[in-house]
Structure 1
Amino acid sequence: PKNEIEGDMGESAVGLHARLMSQALRKLTGTIAKTNTTCIFINQLREKIGVMFGNPETTTGGNALKFYASVRLDIRRVTSIKDGDEVIGNQVRVKVVKNKVAPPFRKAEFEITFGEGISKIGEIVDLGVEYGIIQKSGSWFSYEGTKLAQGRDAVKKLLKDNPELCEQLEAKIMAELAGK
């Protein structure tokens, strides 16, 4: 806000950001709906001071964004994915906080690889094991009685190198999901 930039340090402007967000969202919503546009806001969490009960975490910018949003997701890093010493991605847990277009309060956990996005092959391995399509015995993974590889990363590499096998597993997982 202009007032904040031009004002002196330490000068308080209570609710300035919240008022600005409210005004901007009122103007934006009509245009976004008419132009069939998806608008994504990325926000940060702040701690409310002195909260004894309930969640002390809150998002900045007042309540306007919470009200106008159709979908709100809480995305948190669970662990880092490393290749040797180099961090190549994150394992994240996503909780749907608000959803006007589908059932809310669902949870999911998946890998996000830097430069790639959500790891599709990682999901195929995890869902394959979950639905019993891929068998896991210790660190060995097998499919239809044939050992694929030892270790999750080795299976991911194998599936990346063999797109036919990857597509076959994906089709079986989709059929399993359709039957649910």
Structure 2
Amino acid sequence: MKISRETTSKEVLSDKKHNEIINAANQVKAASIPIEETPVEFIHSGSILLNLAASGKGRNGGWARGRIINFVGDGSSGKTLLALEMAAYVFHKMLGNKSHNFPPVKKVRIIFDNVEQVLDFPVDKMYGKDFSDGVEWINSSTVQSWGRNVTREVMANKPGELLLYITDSLDALASQEGQERFEKAAKSDKEEDGTYGTEKAAYLSKSFFSNMCCKMAGKDVTLIIISQIRMKIGVSFGEKYGRTGGKSLDFYTHAVPWLAEVEKLKKTFRGEDRVYGIRVLVKLKRNKVAKPFREAEIIILFDYGVDDVGSSIAYLYGPKVKTIDWDGIEYGRNELINYIEENDLQDELAEKVEKWWNEIEDHLKPNRISKYGNE
């Protein structure tokens, strides 16, 4: 059953639910920042650092809204988790959003096309039961049926409706022709004729992406495509890794973050080492909406998600430093994380991260006289 979130004046709320909504609204209001009038708007990634790398903006930044984003990485590098973090922000924070480029959001729809049909995260625990009930979970079987599903949803999108469509993953989609050959070979008990996936590549490059960009124009629709990396055979120079979709994805996407695990985070308890999370390096190999080739290291904790506070502290003070001075008082790393969260100091921490990041960006600017402008 498909469920979407809509505003309505006829809802009857219990006192408990009413208080929960008021508290949530106050938290959003306290952390709000004036809307900037920019040609591109963004959806929070779940990490201030990642926002800065992807958009050049901190609390107002993130992944480009109304665009096509391609998350690329090897297995267990956090691709699906980042997509879920974005979806959770859209679900919990974007209803009622006002912007310069889109109508006020009266309805939020999140479609998660679980092509791989594997999703092992405790979604209810991490993002709430209302989130898992509110997301529309579907499974496309072929690249053509996926393309038709996306196209129908984009064409049906109306003003005031925000649509986030996540595909996990493009690699798991077979072509209709390939499926038919596979079934025919199984029935005849003969070897399947090889075509090396040419139908899939042709559909993506010649049909889907070129038409989809036209259909998405001006609509509050963001498309997230997850891809697995593949080693290129026989490559002796240049990029040794690629992904399904190749040049068509390079041409039509607005941001392509590549994810790689840097470190497994371990704790020792009762003499045993256990992995409780990973540190991930995100490289923006392509970015049309901000400076390209920016990087961010983020921490992902199992059963929790992106650790924005922990990632920010590691960025400012180093990932291995155990004692940190915060406003003249020394804290242990975990002690400082708890202190910041318990005292609602996330904005203050974000300001420190933004200041540090922007000082580096300012230092990189060419100290030259403008060729044509007055500045």
Normalising by structure 2, report the TM-score: 0.41
Aligned to 1:58: 242
Aligned to 1:10: 192
Report 1:104-123 matches (<5 A). 104-123=292-311
Structure 2 vs 1, CA of residues 31 and 116 (structure 1 numbering), >3 Å: closer, same or farther?
farther
Aligned partners of 1:128 and 1:169 also within 8 Å: no
- Larger RCO, structure (CA 8 Å, separation 6 or more): 2
Aligned to 2:278: 90
Structure 2 vs 1, CA of residues 81 and 35 (structure 1 numbering), >3 Å: closer, same or farther?
same
Aligned to 2:128: none
CA apart distance, 1:86:
4.9
Cα deviation, 1:108-132, whole Å, max 9, x if unaligned, reads: 11112345443221133234426xx
Structure with greater strand share of residues: 1
Aligned to 1:133: none
Structure 2 gaps of 5+ residues are 1-174, 186-190, 363-375
- Separation (CA, whole Å) in 2 of partners of 1:139 and 1:63: 45
- Separation (CA, whole Å) in 1 of partners of 2:335 and 2:341: 10
Percent identity over the alignment is: 27
Which is further off, 89-98 or 107-116?
Answer: 107-116
| Matched letter for residue 5 of structure 1 | Q
- Separation (CA, whole Å) in 1 of partners of 2:276 and 2:243: 28
Structure 1 gaps of 5+ residues are 131-135
- Separation (CA, whole Å) in 1 of partners of 2:234 and 2:357: 45
CA apart distance, 1:96:
0.9
Aligned to 2:334: 153
- Separation (CA, whole Å) in 2 of partners of 1:91 and 1:158: 22
CA apart distance, 1:142:
2.1
- Separation (CA, whole Å) in 2 of partners of 1:95 and 1:174: 18
- Separation (CA, whole Å) in 2 of partners of 1:59 and 1:122: 31
Cα deviation, 1:115-161, whole Å, max 9, x if unaligned, reads: 5443221133234426xxxxx9x632222332222xx2333233233
Normalising by structure 1, report the TM-score: 0.78
Does 2:224 match 1:40?
A: yes
| Matched letter for residue 16 of structure 1 | E
Aligned partners of 2:297 and 2:311 also within 8 Å: no
Q: Aligned-residue CA RMSD in angstroms?
A: 2.8
Aligned partners of 2:298 and 2:308 also within 8 Å: no
Structure 2 vs 1, CA of residues 56 and 91 (structure 1 numbering), >3 Å: closer, same or farther?
same
- Separation (CA, whole Å) in 2 of partners of 1:21 and 1:170: 39
- Separation (CA, whole Å) in 2 of partners of 1:59 and 1:46: 5
Cα deviation, 1:23-67, whole Å, max 9, x if unaligned, reads: 111221112223231111111111121111222211113421121
